[in-house]
């Protein structure tokens, strides 16, 4: 594996780890807010709307992040290769 391929894989793995962390934080935050506010919601109908809205946020945001990671996987040579080449050119210009 070439040095460029290793750097691309490292950047991709870093983005996957960051995406997983964001998903975990998203779920923890939404569920925490839902649990902490649940006793203060007076009406069953409002509770249903809040629960459905929280579920929609979790499902759609998780799906969007996973779709982004999948897109990065499919096109990582172009995406990360371009970033690496630009970073190298900037570093060479600076020195």
User: Mind listing the pLDDT tens digit for each residue in 56-85?
Assistant: 999 999 999 999 999 999 999 998 988 899
Q: How do residues 14-26 score in pLDDT, each as one tens digit?
A: 999 999 999 999 9
Q: Note down the domain range covering 29.
A: 3-94
Hey, what are 39's tokens? 């006793």
Say which residues have a Cβ less than 8 Å from residue 11's Cβ, sequence separation at least 6: 76, 80, 83, 84
Number of domains in the chain: 1
Cβ neighbours of 80 (radius 10 Å): 21
């Amino acid at each position: 594996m070439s040095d460029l391929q290793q750097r691309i894989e490292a950047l991709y793995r870093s983005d996957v780890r960051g995406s997983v962390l964001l998903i975990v934080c998203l779920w923890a935050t939404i569920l925490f807010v839902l649990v902490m506010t649940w006793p203060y919601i007076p009406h069953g109908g409002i509770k249903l709307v809040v629960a459905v809205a929280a579920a929609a946020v979790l499902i759609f945001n998780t799906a969007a992040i996973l779709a982004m990671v999948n897109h990065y996987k499919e096109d990582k040579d172009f995406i990360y290769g371009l970033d690496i080449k630009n970073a190298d050119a900037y570093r060479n210009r600076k020195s």
